[in-house]
Amino acid sequence: MSNVKTMVSPQNGRVTTVLEIPDEVFSEKILGDGIAVIPTSDEIVSPVDGEIIQIAETGHAFCIKSDDGVEILIHVGVDTVSLKGQGFVSLVKVGQKVNAGDLIGTADLEMIKENGYPTHTAVLITNMSMIDTMEVHSGQAEAGKTVALSYTLK
């Protein structure tokens, strides 16, 4: 049996399943499976040790390849690409090594809400073929500290 790996919450807030995200691309697991965070703070941290492999031009999404090869998409808010980067700040570069808990960006949650967008953050494993088992740890979470997801590799 492989070792259990963990992912911490990238934001303060309530961790839940992707089924709660009001967007079928996420709730129907089209891009992958993982967790949703209903955030209460603007800071976004890396959920794992790994490398930044992609950042949306608009700063609302990050892709990280963990040191164990799992590819993770962090997508802040629903339809927030429509904000064209307004309210988002990326603090990392592609190719940068990050550790779990490192600050990678910020999102102005109040501005996102004022513009009518849900603030749910999707944290998805996009290469699910590597995953054997996965467990969501629902409830209140502290960014960079609370384990939000545990998984084993095939």
Query: Which amino acid appears at position 37 of this protein?
Result: V
Q: What is the pLDDT of residues 99-151, one digit of tens each?
A: 999 999 999 999 999 999 999 999 999 999 999 999 999 999 999 999 999 99
Quick one: average pLDDT of 61-83? 97
Q: Predicted confidence band at 1 (pLDDT cuts at 50, 70, 90)?
A: very low
Cβ neighbourhood burial of 34 (10 Å; 0-12, 13-18, 19+):
buried
C-alpha distances out from residue 68 to 72, 119, 129, 148, 154, Å: 11, 29, 13, 17, 12
Q: Predicted confidence band at 29 (pLDDT cuts at 50, 70, 90)?
A: very high
Q: Is residue 4 part of a domain?
A: no
Q: How many CA atoms lie within 13 A of 3 on its CB side?
A: 3
Q: Is residue 83 part of a domain?
A: yes
Residues 154 and 145: their CA atoms lie apart, in Å, by 26
For residue 70, pLDDT over 90 is answered with: yes
Q: Give me the pLDDT at residue 2, please.
A: 54
SS3 content of the chain, % helix, strand, coil (to 5): 15, 45, 40
Q: Give me the pLDDT at residue 134, please.
A: 97
Q: What is the pLDDT of residues 81-104, one digit of tens each?
A: 999 999 999 999 999 999 999 999
Q: Is residue 61 part of a domain?
A: yes
Residues 125 and 59: their CA atoms lie apart, in Å, by 19
pTM, full prediction: 0.96
Q: Is residue 49 part of a domain?
A: yes
Domain that holds residue 59: 21-138
Q: Is residue 146 part of a domain?
A: no
Q: Give me the pLDDT at residue 69, please.
A: 97
Q: Is residue 66 part of a domain?
A: yes
Q: Is residue 10 part of a domain?
A: no
Task: Identify the CATH number of the domain in which residue 91 sits.
Answer: 2.70.70.10
Q: Give me the pLDDT at residue 6, please.
A: 97
Residues 27 and 50: their CA atoms lie apart, in Å, by 25
How many structural domains does the chain have?
Answer: 1
Catalytic residues: 75
Q: Is residue 143 part of a domain?
A: no
